[in-house]
Structure 1
Amino acid sequence: MRSRALAVILVLLSGLLWAQPARAEVEHPRQKWMRDSTAGLFLHWGMFTAPRHLDCAAWERDVTGGGWTADYWVDEARKLGASYIVLATFHSRLGYARPWPSKIPGSCATERDLLGELVAAGKAKDVRIILYMTDDPQWHSEQGVQTLDSAAYSAYKGRQVDLTTRDGFGMYSYDLFFEVMENYADLAGFWIDNDNAYWEQNKLYEQIRERRPSWLLSNNNEDTPIMDTVSNEQKTGMTPSYDYPQAAWTPMPRLVEADYKLPTTGQWWYDGGNHPVDTRLSTGRYITNAGSSMKSLMAETPMVNGRFPPQQEAFNDFMAGWVPPIRSSLYGTEGGGYMYGGMQPGFWNDGAHGVVTVEPGARTQYVHVVTRPRTDHVRLRDNGYWVTRVSDLRTGRSLRFHQSAGHLTILGVTDWDPYDTVFKVETAGQRFYHDKIRATAPELVDGNFSTYWDNKGQLPISTTLDLGHRRALTSLAVNQREWSPTYARESFGRPEDSARVKDYRVYLSSDGKIWGKPVRTGALPSARGVQFIDLGEQRARYVKLEVLNTWGGPQAPRYHRQLQIDEIKVAYAHPFSVGPAAPLEAEHADRAGGARPDLCRTCSGHLRITGLRHGTLTFDDVTAPEDGTYRLQLDHTSGTDTSVKVAVNGAAPIEVPVKADARDVPVATALAVPLRKGANTIVLSASAAGIDRIAVAPLPPASQVPTTTLTVEPGGLQWAGPGQQAIKVSATLRLDADDQLDQVRLAPAAPQGWTVQGDPATAATLRLGQTLSATWTLTSPPGQDVTPADIPITAAFQVLGRPAQTSKQVRVRPRPADRVWMREAEDSVNQLGSAGITGCGPCSGGQKVRNLGGGPDAYVLFENVSVPSAGTYTLFADYTVNGPRSFFVTVNGGTPVEVRVDGVGNNTPYTTRVPVTLGAGQNTIKIHNDTGSAPDLDRLSLG
């Protein structure tokens, strides 16, 4: 969108996360400088920077005496390639310090105008300054002293104001916004850490727009329509770990930041330690964010004198030399494979992973190989771009390449950068996609990524494309809306999951009435960027895509059964290069007997080898760098179930099953084979399949765990009553990525004395998206009460001949004698609405439910609350809270009862008691607050 940033575009955009804006200023000329940027520098710095200061004047003396200069921060930002600095001193955990002289009393303010000096230094060197503002007063006495002066502010306002309340703090900070706007015209905007109701009621943001129309507004962890930027804070848990965009949930063209700490350990602010910076992780984030049109907002931890700890300075110096040779691929570019065009990012061949950036128009693209393949070539989907030249951006050296069957293969790479090898790919543009297509969902073919097809929760669902008349077609290119993470996760207590296509079917028709059997069935990976459904060589007028299900699970209601697709393109051919061949093409191997070449326009090199029932195909140029076991991939076609015999270096052949698929769409099967150093011979025979190519690479590291999802219910700590108990346990294993699983077995391991009713679930293989499920009844030893037990539910399998497993536990504990019923808030049998589960070490079971209250949809509903007789019981609610809050208890749909609580620290469990009247047998208890924020809930019990 940098190519369009000179236009004034107001986009009507719905479906952004948390809020659904009616008229969001998604694109605006004031954003141009940030859209043109790649990164920013996030600085948390204040009174409580180590060594902490409890007196504002003493802190300022040490800042000045230590030699603080604004130019140092600006220069360090420039080393990182950062175009802006976000200064976080008015921070709830850093003493609410204001680094500027203020006429408004209420918290620490300096006499020296540090903010003004920083703004001036940044302006002189083209680095913009954005001021952080918090909405949160709850940490006002965290250090044992009061950092908010309600009396002074009350005297200033001429009325009583309690700054420790959200309304009072909202009024105080509201005044500060206007003071800053008045005094610092060259500031670039505000970075706002969540909203305050007082600001919203008094139209703060609208007034900022009116007074400072060129300033940007950023909001943390939510999408507010009036804001320019959505910021995503410290996302972790991705595979690979550096691929930060996998956890993002805001679709382009929304301006998005990725906020993350550069120090690997420690706080967001300087805590006294010289913490290391993981160069691999940090550069990977920097590159993958750029490849997704996200801004890297990198947090460093300045000391009291403003300087960074040595390891952070060293990283900045490294970046100052590492980025410039590839600067053209990061500045003035957008993420490739999305709305701006470009080849497909993500996982490539032989363990490779990376992103693509594109110049305006996408004729020139940059392939960033962040994780190099285990071989000397890179193979990725070309998305119809006809490649004319490939070169190494750092060295300028031209590279050989091959293009066919929708793939670009960059050959003979020997000079790999340890963090990002960048290939400049010059193209003649995108070719071979049909135009003038109509669809039952017109948004899919309008070329406009601000409109999209929404299934509105309906599954299965289908859409039909009309090509106008009978035409050739080979594949579909599907751009799904990037409004969800790529995998199930908890983010600040909110459940998230992937709202993307899993299982699909494609039908073809000449008249739109008679469809016949599907020409392709399969599963799409849960991945960002354009995804492809290959159809082989087909002719039809109508194409129907049926989506059977999506990846998102019911634990994340916002994403469950939801689907949004921006665009679908229909290809009728693929670019083809005349230059060097891709390695190990079947048509270049030795044939004997009935083996013969067969035209296959969707195969690599446009040929495959068939006739192996009575013939052989010999690859005698398979080289290995050393003796060992390697991954052999067979790309084959077959319309029926068959097998292929594989013989390596004259050994007895291995029979490899081949599942039926489209008869002229190559699919891959991988196996482990022993190879010796140097040349090896691989012979394929006795098969009805067509062989397109083979590929050989070292095995993935033994430590690499296949990407699976194992769901076990019940989830959460289980409290068992006296006597013998039986627990019903269900489990489902799903393969999310990587090679197929073989010899799969799913079963519980019963503790000593326990019995299991139900057989293990088994499967010969599992492929992408497939599942294996089972249910068992586990019964505790007879004649005694349940004792503590951790029952593992284990999925064991083989991947490329190596054993692996994943496991989850069902944790059982005896209920205390003074309780007649007890259940964790995070138990999977509860309904959570829009609330979510988060870790809590001191809490029972190590988890709690967060984000309760603030609306009618954020609650915990405990169903099947069983008591032996009707009567009044004492409800014990275990919770954590920081400051005064309320929750409501509603029993069996009756009148809600408000319960007011108070506490210090969100990791300190408290207990409150509430009398409740229950009926004999099953009851429901709902914990909620429809108007205000509620405490976090650990568990409920009845005495």
Structure 2
Amino acid sequence: MFLRRLGVVCASLLAAAGLAAAPASADLQKPSQQWLRDSQAGLFLHWGMRTSPGYTSCSAWEKAITDGGWSPGYWVTEAKKLHASYLVLASFHSRLGYSRAWPSKIPGSCSTKRDFLGELVAAAKAEGLKVILYMTNDAQWHNEGGHEWLDSGAYSKYKGKTVNLDSQDGFGQFSYDNFFEVMKNYPDLGGFWIDNDNAYWESHDLYRQIYQQRPGYLLSNNNEDTPIMDTISNEQKTGMTPAYDYPQATYTAMPRLTEACFKLPDTGAWWYGGSNPPVNKALNLGRLVANAGSSIKSLMAETAMVNGRFPSNQEAFNTFAAGYLGAIRESLDGTEGAGYMYGGMQPGFWNDGAHGVITIRGATQYLHVLTKPSGSTLKIRDNGYRVSRVTNLRTGAAVSFGQGNGSLTLTGLSGWDPYDTVFKVETTGRTGIYDSRTVTLKASTSASGHSGQSASDGDYLTYFDNGKKLPVDLDFDLGSAKPVQYIGVNQREDSVSYARSDTEQSARIKGYQVFVSADGQNWGSAVKSGTLPSHRGVQLADLPAVTTRYVRLRITSTYAASSDTTRYKRLRIDETWLGSAYAS
């Protein structure tokens, strides 16, 4: 099944390249995204005229940068310490004086004579990194601090008509022109990071034109899942338990490119305000690893000073991260999050208070224990994977393990790393899983285009949708009587996994029942009733060992309350399957 999933993803990429027809996934996956898909992290740089001590003169700001010894190589080096593959430069920011750190022929806001953007793009390219340019949509901070940062008169003269840059429409025109100038002058740029949409851009079909003129560019939107864009970024999410488990607060299903952007310093704004706050190693390393365990990219923000350098606590964290991540690089580079569409064991909440994620590359999985168990044993649902060998990735020491009743158990554990203990698990494939091609799945109700069979076709680009009707039955037909030991479910990860507010809640399965039948007509009493946790990743429901042809999974409730009208009673399932026996 795992190979079938990989095949589906590859087929979609070929389709996007024009080698097969797949209009539904043309914007979802395309070759220009591959460098970002191969990345784990980026460095977010908010740096402009209002960087402390702050300037109201563009020329004075530029002089201070140059006199301070700014070098693009410093940022590239610091990014590499964080194992970042890209940098996002946010100088044209509504709270930083709309500073353009590059020469421009378009008047309207600060534009430097020195091409800091061009120098950064060139330095990054030389080291195999990309630069993405932040673009704001917002004019509301045009006079922040009592200074007018936008020059409507100069821009109006340039356009030959009156344009008020302090309005959203006028600013939309100004920024629209800047997009095209940047595209013309910086062919090696990686794309644009958009801080929400502007109506002028949308009415003038900006994004389609960007792709036409620069097909290699990527587009990302902040906190808005805009279908035409490549990536959705999720800004500074908090309230999760544990705090580092950032994916709990995201709401975008794979294989959509998803990014988590967060500040590394414990306190302060996104830009340098004159202080040197500490950087929490456990929190930020945990975020990076947890995001990797869900194939989410970590865009980590640091507060560059006017001369480009970072405060000492951030520099120290970067230096520490370089060595720390280097020691476990194998478990991050070239991997995907396990427990989702790429296969793998069950991530998340384990025994005795343990918590972590799993990354996967081929037949090898990496257990990242971010919160250790209270004892010396770790127990994880194996999802049918037969394990042949387990070692501690850092030390290479063999780890004692056993398998039974659906779980992998590691024993005699000690010497836990304070941030991330990584176990390398080698497998010989999955066992005891019925091939979805041999199973018929029908739903008692479904939304148009999202039938029950969509949850048993080996394709994570299709999914079952209940049309917000509960209870709903999913009936499996095995074709003949066969042993059944458990049901596995990958729900669609398009909702948060906890109640962030009255209107942003989990759409996952809560109450369920399982029935079996010899003829598909007479079902009798439920052989299993229970509650699934509102957790990300694969979920498993064990059954009393039974031999049967038909299995009915009845979902009686989901987690979202009626106050969340978008997700109340909504159920979406990417894939579900039956297990005939446990791996051993």
TM-score range, shorter chain: over 0.9
Is the 8 Å Cα contact of residues 507 and 567 (structure 2) preserved in structure 1? yes
The within-5 A match list for 1:35-54 is: 35-54=37-56
1:10 deviates by: 4.2
Aligned residue pairs total 562
1:210 deviates by: 0.6
CA distance in 2, matches of 1:243, 1:414: 23
Supply the AA of the counterpart residue of 1:568.
T
Equivalent position SS for 1:143: helix
Distance verdict in 2 for CA 1:395–1:23, change over 3 Å: closer
Match of 2:207 among 205, 208, 223: 205
The within-5 A match list for 1:664-683 is: none
Question: Greater Rg, structure 1 or structure 2?
Answer: 1
CA distance in 2, matches of 1:9, 1:369: 38
Q: Deviations over 1:798-831 (max 9, x none)?
A: xxxxxxxxxxxxxxxxxxxxxxxxxxxxxxxxxx
Residue 476 in structure 1 maps to residue 478 in structure 2: no
Equivalent in the alignment of 2:78: 76
Q: Deviations over 1:612-660 (max 9, x none)?
A: xxxxxxxxxxxxxxxxxxxxxxxxxxxxxxxxxxxxxxxxxxxxxxxxx
The within-5 A match list for 1:268-279 is: 268-279=270-281
Equivalent in the alignment of 1:819: none
1:275 deviates by: 0.8
CA distance in 2, matches of 1:143, 1:542: 69
Equivalent in the alignment of 1:322: 324
Equivalent in the alignment of 1:351: 353
1:9 deviates by: 3.8
Equivalent in the alignment of 2:536: 528
Q: Which runs of 5+ in 1 are unaligned?
A: 12-20, 577-943
CA distance in 2, matches of 1:518, 1:377: 34
The within-5 A match list for 1:20-169 is: 25-169=27-171
Is the 8 Å Cα contact of residues 33 and 230 (structure 2) preserved in structure 1? yes
Is the 8 Å Cα contact of residues 148 and 163 (structure 1) preserved in structure 2? yes
Is the 8 Å Cα contact of residues 2 and 333 (structure 1) preserved in structure 2? no
Residue 430 in structure 1 maps to residue 436 in structure 2: no
Supply the AA of the counterpart residue of 1:292.
S
Equivalent in the alignment of 2:478: 467
Equivalent in the alignment of 2:187: 185
Residue 573 in structure 1 maps to residue 584 in structure 2: no
Equivalent in the alignment of 1:416: 416
Residue 386 in structure 1 maps to residue 390 in structure 2: no
Supply the AA of the counterpart residue of 2:453.
P
Equivalent position SS for 1:177: helix
Question: Runs (4+) of structure 1 moved beyond 4 Å?
Answer: 1-6, 21-24
Distance verdict in 2 for CA 1:483–1:220, change over 3 Å: same
Equivalent in the alignment of 1:174: 176
CA distance in 2, matches of 1:155, 1:5: 51
CA distance in 2, matches of 1:65, 1:52: 15
Is the 8 Å Cα contact of residues 22 and 225 (structure 1) preserved in structure 2? no
Equivalent in the alignment of 1:588: none
Residue 405 in structure 1 maps to residue 405 in structure 2: yes
Q: Deviations over 1:354-397 (max 9, x none)?
A: 0010003xx11001000010111210000000000000111111
Distance verdict in 2 for CA 1:350–1:396, change over 3 Å: same
CA distance in 2, matches of 1:453, 1:206: 30
CA distance in 1, matches of 2:206, 2:179: 8
Match of 1:443 among 446, 449, 454: 454
Equivalent position SS for 1:100: coil
Supply the AA of the counterpart residue of 1:234.
Q
Residue 8 in structure 1 maps to residue 14 in structure 2: yes
CA distance in 2, matches of 1:28, 1:140: 37
Supply the AA of the counterpart residue of 1:143.
G
Is the 8 Å Cα contact of residues 2 and 36 (structure 1) preserved in structure 2? no
Residue 396 in structure 1 maps to residue 396 in structure 2: yes
1:96 deviates by: 0.2
Equivalent position SS for 1:34: helix
Equivalent position SS for 2:328: helix
CA distance in 1, matches of 2:544, 2:524: 17
1:109 deviates by: 0.5
CA distance in 1, matches of 2:517, 2:509: 22
Supply the AA of the counterpart residue of 2:561.
G
Aligned identity (percent) is 58
Q: Deviations over 1:193-241 (max 9, x none)?
A: 0001111111111111011001111011111111111101110000000
Equivalent in the alignment of 1:505: 513
CA distance in 2, matches of 1:317, 1:378: 31
1:245 deviates by: 0.1
Larger RCO: 1 or 2 (CA < 8 Å, sep 6+)? 2
CA distance in 2, matches of 1:24, 1:173: 28
1:5 deviates by: 6.0
CA distance in 2, matches of 1:2, 1:334: 11
Is the 8 Å Cα contact of residues 23 and 225 (structure 1) preserved in structure 2? no
Supply the AA of the counterpart residue of 1:237.
G
Distance verdict in 2 for CA 1:302–1:71, change over 3 Å: same
- Greater fraction of residues in helix: 2
TM-score (norm. length: structure 1): 0.59
Is the 8 Å Cα contact of residues 2 and 334 (structure 1) preserved in structure 2? no
The within-5 A match list for 1:235-634 is: 235-360=237-362, 363-435=363-435, 436-440=438-442, 441-490=452-501, 495-576=503-584
Equivalent position SS for 2:286: helix
1:311 deviates by: 0.4
Supply the AA of the counterpart residue of 2:531.
A
Equivalent position SS for 1:496: coil
1:556 deviates by: 1.5
CA distance in 1, matches of 2:474, 2:356: 31
CA distance in 2, matches of 1:322, 1:9: 39
CA distance in 2, matches of 1:285, 1:40: 13
CA distance in 2, matches of 1:2, 1:155: 55
1:8 deviates by: 2.6
CA distance in 1, matches of 2:229, 2:483: 46
Is the 8 Å Cα contact of residues 5 and 32 (structure 1) preserved in structure 2? no
Q: Deviations over 1:424-462 (max 9, x none)?
A: 000010110112111111111100011111011101111
Is the 8 Å Cα contact of residues 368 and 423 (structure 2) preserved in structure 1? yes
Q: Which runs of 5+ in 2 are unaligned?
A: 18-22, 443-451
1:165 deviates by: 0.7
Equivalent in the alignment of 2:229: 227
Equivalent position SS for 1:316: helix
